[in-house]
Protein backbone atom coordinates (compact mmCIF):
# COMPACT_ATOMS: atom_id res chain seq x y z
CA UNK A 1 0.00 0.00 0.00
CA UNK A 2 1.37 3.39 -0.99
CA UNK A 3 1.71 6.09 1.67
CA UNK A 4 2.79 9.69 1.24
CA UNK A 5 4.89 11.64 3.75
CA UNK A 6 2.90 14.38 5.49
CA UNK A 7 5.57 17.14 5.64
CA UNK A 8 3.66 19.29 8.14
CA UNK A 9 3.74 16.43 10.67
CA UNK A 10 7.19 15.05 9.86
CA UNK A 11 10.76 16.10 10.59
CA UNK A 12 14.34 15.14 9.73
CA UNK A 13 16.84 16.41 12.31
CA UNK A 14 20.58 16.00 12.73
CA UNK A 15 23.18 16.80 15.33
CA UNK A 16 26.98 17.03 15.22
CA UNK A 17 29.58 17.78 17.89
CA UNK A 18 30.96 21.34 17.84
CA UNK A 19 34.48 21.94 19.21
CA UNK A 20 34.14 18.57 20.95
CA UNK A 21 32.17 20.18 23.80
CA UNK A 22 28.60 20.68 22.58
CA UNK A 23 26.19 19.58 19.87
CA UNK A 24 24.82 21.68 17.04
CA UNK A 25 21.37 20.66 15.88
CA UNK A 26 19.77 21.27 12.54
CA UNK A 27 16.94 20.10 10.35
CA UNK A 28 16.01 19.78 6.73
CA UNK A 29 12.98 21.89 5.88
CA UNK A 30 12.15 20.25 2.51
CA UNK A 31 11.84 16.53 1.84
CA UNK A 32 9.42 14.19 0.15
CA UNK A 33 9.04 10.58 -0.73
CA UNK A 34 7.01 7.46 -1.05
CA UNK A 35 6.69 4.68 1.46
CA UNK A 36 5.13 1.38 0.49
CA UNK A 37 4.15 0.24 3.97
CA UNK A 38 2.74 -3.28 4.05
CA UNK A 39 0.91 -3.55 7.36
CA UNK A 40 0.38 -7.33 7.08
CA UNK A 41 3.94 -8.09 5.94
CA UNK A 42 6.30 -5.26 6.98
CA UNK A 43 9.37 -6.90 5.40
CA UNK A 44 7.71 -6.28 2.01
CA UNK A 45 7.73 -2.51 2.70
CA UNK A 46 10.02 0.01 0.99
CA UNK A 47 11.11 3.63 1.43
CA UNK A 48 12.39 6.20 -1.08
CA UNK A 49 12.96 9.71 0.30
CA UNK A 50 14.66 12.76 -1.21
CA UNK A 51 15.87 15.73 0.82
CA UNK A 52 16.64 19.21 -0.54
CA UNK A 53 20.25 19.91 0.46
CA UNK A 54 19.59 23.65 0.26
CA UNK A 55 16.89 23.35 2.94
CA UNK A 56 19.26 22.69 5.85
CA UNK A 57 18.64 25.00 8.80
CA UNK A 58 20.69 25.27 11.99
CA UNK A 59 19.29 28.70 13.01
CA UNK A 60 22.53 30.37 11.94
CA UNK A 61 22.62 31.77 8.40
CA UNK A 62 26.41 31.87 8.18
CA UNK A 63 26.71 28.24 9.30
CA UNK A 64 23.85 27.17 6.99
CA UNK A 65 25.58 28.85 4.03
CA UNK A 66 28.80 27.01 4.89
CA UNK A 67 26.94 23.68 5.12
CA UNK A 68 25.41 24.32 1.67
CA UNK A 69 28.85 25.15 0.20
CA UNK A 70 31.32 22.82 -1.53
CA UNK A 71 33.01 22.23 1.88
CA UNK A 72 29.98 20.14 2.91
CA UNK A 73 26.77 19.38 0.97
CA UNK A 74 27.66 21.33 -2.20
CA UNK A 75 23.95 22.00 -2.66
CA UNK A 76 24.41 23.85 -5.95
CA UNK A 77 25.99 20.85 -7.68
CA UNK A 78 24.18 18.12 -5.68
CA UNK A 79 20.73 19.52 -4.82
CA UNK A 80 19.29 16.28 -3.39
CA UNK A 81 20.17 13.76 -0.73
CA UNK A 82 18.40 10.42 -1.05
CA UNK A 83 17.63 7.41 1.09
CA UNK A 84 16.38 4.31 -0.70
CA UNK A 85 15.69 1.12 1.21
CA UNK A 86 16.78 -2.29 0.01
CA UNK A 87 15.58 -4.44 2.93
CA UNK A 88 13.27 -4.21 5.94
CA UNK A 89 13.93 -6.29 9.03
CA UNK A 90 11.31 -6.82 11.74
CA UNK A 91 12.60 -6.90 15.32
CA UNK A 92 9.19 -7.14 17.01
CA UNK A 93 5.67 -5.81 16.40
CA UNK A 94 6.71 -2.18 17.04
CA UNK A 95 10.41 -2.12 16.07
CA UNK A 96 12.40 -2.79 12.96
CA UNK A 97 15.41 -1.85 10.89
CA UNK A 98 15.41 -0.40 7.43
CA UNK A 99 18.58 -1.18 5.49
CA UNK A 100 19.28 1.11 2.57
CA UNK A 101 21.57 3.42 0.65
CA UNK A 102 22.10 7.05 1.65
CA UNK A 103 23.32 9.20 -1.22
CA UNK A 104 25.06 12.51 -0.49
CA UNK A 105 27.06 14.34 -3.20
CA UNK A 106 26.61 11.34 -5.54
CA UNK A 107 28.27 9.03 -3.00
CA UNK A 108 26.04 6.13 -1.95
CA UNK A 109 26.80 4.15 1.18
CA UNK A 110 24.78 1.73 3.30
CA UNK A 111 23.01 2.90 6.45
CA UNK A 112 20.58 1.22 8.79
CA UNK A 113 17.63 3.09 10.30
CA UNK A 114 16.39 1.80 13.68
CA UNK A 115 12.63 2.29 13.44
CA UNK A 116 9.79 2.40 15.96
CA UNK A 117 6.24 2.02 14.63
CA UNK A 118 3.73 4.15 16.58
CA UNK A 119 0.60 2.71 14.97
CA UNK A 120 -2.16 4.06 12.75
CA UNK A 121 -5.02 6.46 13.33
CA UNK A 122 -7.92 7.85 11.34
CA UNK A 123 -8.30 11.64 11.26
CA UNK A 124 -11.63 13.41 11.75
CA UNK A 125 -11.53 14.05 7.96
CA UNK A 126 -11.27 10.35 7.11
CA UNK A 127 -7.59 10.04 6.24
CA UNK A 128 -5.62 7.10 7.62
CA UNK A 129 -2.17 7.96 8.97
CA UNK A 130 0.72 5.92 10.33
CA UNK A 131 3.53 7.16 12.57
CA UNK A 132 7.20 6.16 12.66
CA UNK A 133 10.32 7.32 14.49
CA UNK A 134 13.78 6.42 13.20
CA UNK A 135 17.38 7.04 14.17
CA UNK A 136 20.78 6.40 12.66
CA UNK A 137 24.35 7.64 12.92
CA UNK A 138 27.08 7.80 10.33
CA UNK A 139 30.58 9.16 9.73
CA UNK A 140 30.22 12.15 7.40
CA UNK A 141 33.76 11.72 6.05
CA UNK A 142 32.65 8.49 4.33
CA UNK A 143 30.54 10.69 2.02
CA UNK A 144 33.37 13.11 1.29
CA UNK A 145 32.22 15.70 3.84
CA UNK A 146 35.68 16.06 5.34
CA UNK A 147 36.11 19.81 5.91
CA UNK A 148 37.40 20.57 9.40
CA UNK A 149 39.70 22.78 11.47
CA UNK A 150 42.08 21.73 14.22
CA UNK A 151 41.61 23.40 17.60
CA UNK A 152 44.56 24.86 19.48
CA UNK A 153 43.32 23.05 22.59
CA UNK A 154 43.35 19.76 20.69
CA UNK A 155 40.59 18.06 18.77
CA UNK A 156 38.56 19.32 15.84
CA UNK A 157 35.95 21.99 15.19
CA UNK A 158 33.27 19.74 13.63
CA UNK A 159 32.64 16.18 14.79
CA UNK A 160 32.65 13.45 12.18
CA UNK A 161 29.70 11.53 13.62
CA UNK A 162 26.27 12.72 12.44
CA UNK A 163 23.26 11.62 14.50
CA UNK A 164 19.96 11.63 12.60
CA UNK A 165 16.49 11.58 14.13
CA UNK A 166 13.39 11.22 11.95
CA UNK A 167 9.71 11.57 12.76
CA UNK A 168 7.37 10.58 9.93
CA UNK A 169 3.63 10.73 9.67
CA UNK A 170 2.44 8.95 6.57
CA UNK A 171 -0.95 9.32 4.92
CA UNK A 172 -2.46 6.37 3.07
CA UNK A 173 -3.04 7.20 -0.59
Give the domains, in start order, of the chain with CATH numbers.
2-172 (2.40.128.110)
Its pTM surpasses 0.85: yes
Cα(87)–Cα(112) distance, integer angstroms: 10
Cα(112)–Cα(7) distance, integer angstroms: 22
What integer pLDDT is reported at residue 39 of this predicted model? 87
Mean pLDDT of the residues in the chain: 95
Digit-coded pLDDT (tens) for 25-38: 999 999 999 899 98
The stretch 79-96 carries a mean pLDDT of 96
What integer pLDDT is reported at residue 70 of this predicted model? 95
The proportion of the chain whose per-residue pLDDT surpasses 90, expressed as a percent, equals 93
The proportion of the chain whose per-residue pLDDT surpasses 70, expressed as a percent, equals 100
Amino acid sequence: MSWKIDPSHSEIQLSVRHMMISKVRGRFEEFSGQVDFNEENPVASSVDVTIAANSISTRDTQRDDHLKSADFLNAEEYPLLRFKSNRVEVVDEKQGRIHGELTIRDVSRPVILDVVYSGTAKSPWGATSAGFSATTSFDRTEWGLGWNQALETGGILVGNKVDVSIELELVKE
